[in-house]
Amino acid sequence: MNPYLPFKAGITGIRRETGDVRTFRLELKNGLPSGAPGQFNMVGYPGVGEVPISFSLLPSKDSPLFEHTVRAVGRVTDFLAGFGEGDEIFLRGPFGRGWPVNEVKGKHLVLISGGLGLAPVRPVIQMADQLNAKRITLLHGARDPESILFETELKEWRKKGIDVKLTVDEPGEGWRFHAGIITEIIRPLKIEAAETLAFICGPEIMMRFSARELFLKNVPRSNVHVSIERRMRCGTGLCGHCQHGIWFVCKDGPVFSYQELSGYPDALL
């Protein structure tokens, strides 16, 4: 099989999340995609190119549809922003190693996300019932109240028993939650270090400081997992662009434990 050969997916719905972020609800033309939380597709269109986008929702027993949440920042993502319901896009994958959901059982799962980083974490929340976690906490930071993703789902997540805590940099009028950087809502968190498993996704600098807060609470490095972003051209460990130390972020990651990433140059982590 040619790993470069993409397949078509139909857009069955588009949700405008915030200014430049859209969630595409997708349906595969031929059969069901498999996929795990934290994995990604190479998404694109012929003549424009392909970029890595994490699953923000996986197909489940209730629905064969899945979602990608995309911020328009450049050539390919701007092009995708012009698509409408009924259009077709091209996908490859799923690729990569996702979140270690099998390790969650019996643990306190701490999900920490910044901005669009909530998208790759959402499939974990989607399967929260199956994880058998002792406790799940979601700490999410955004620029301002308007740019909080999946806001309509937060209530539902709380109903599932997830302790959701929010913070924004610029609160504005009527904001009921914390204002400030993400570390400020990590710090007061009561946790048992050895029984805590953390999944972090967001800008690299935010992941670094979030992880540091957890280390101060004695959470072992091997229990702190981050999803990192690198330039990707193939998704299959062939083009070399995503290399970080000995790792190919596309196939060995994008999710790594802090332990695995430690010591290599050219990262903020």
Ligand X SMILES: Cc1cc2nc3c(=O)[nH]c(=O)nc-3n(C[C@H](O)[C@H](O)[C@H](O)COP(=O)(O)OP(=O)(O)OC[C@H]3O[C@@H](n4cnc5c(N)ncnc54)[C@H](O)[C@@H]3O)c2cc1C
| Contacts (CB under 6 A) with ligand X, residues 68-127 | 69-71, 73-78, 116, 119-120
Q: Is 40 in the site for ligand FES (CB under 6 A)?
A: no
Binding site for other proteins (CB under 8 A): 1-7, 46-50, 73-74, 88, 90, 203-204, 229-231, 233-234, 236-241, 243-248, 251, 263-267
Q: Is 40 in the site for ligand X (CB under 6 A)?
A: yes
Cβ nearer to ligand X, comparing 9 with 133: 9
| Among the listed residues 121, 43, 117, 115, the one whose alpha carbon sits nearest the alpha carbon of residue 83 | 43
Is residue 35 within 8 A of residue 94, CB to CB? The reply is yes
Q: Is 53 in the site for ligand X (CB under 6 A)?
A: yes
As measured in angstroms, the least distance from the Cβ of 95 to ligand X is 8
Per-residue contact track with ligand FES, 215 to 254, x per CB under 6 A? Answer: -----------------xxxx-xxxxxx-----x-x----
User: By the criterion CB under 6 A, which residues form the site for ligand FES?
Assistant: 232-235, 237-242, 248, 250
Report the interface residues with ligand X, using CB under 6 A: 40, 49, 51-54, 69-71, 73-78, 116, 119-120, 229-230, 232, 254
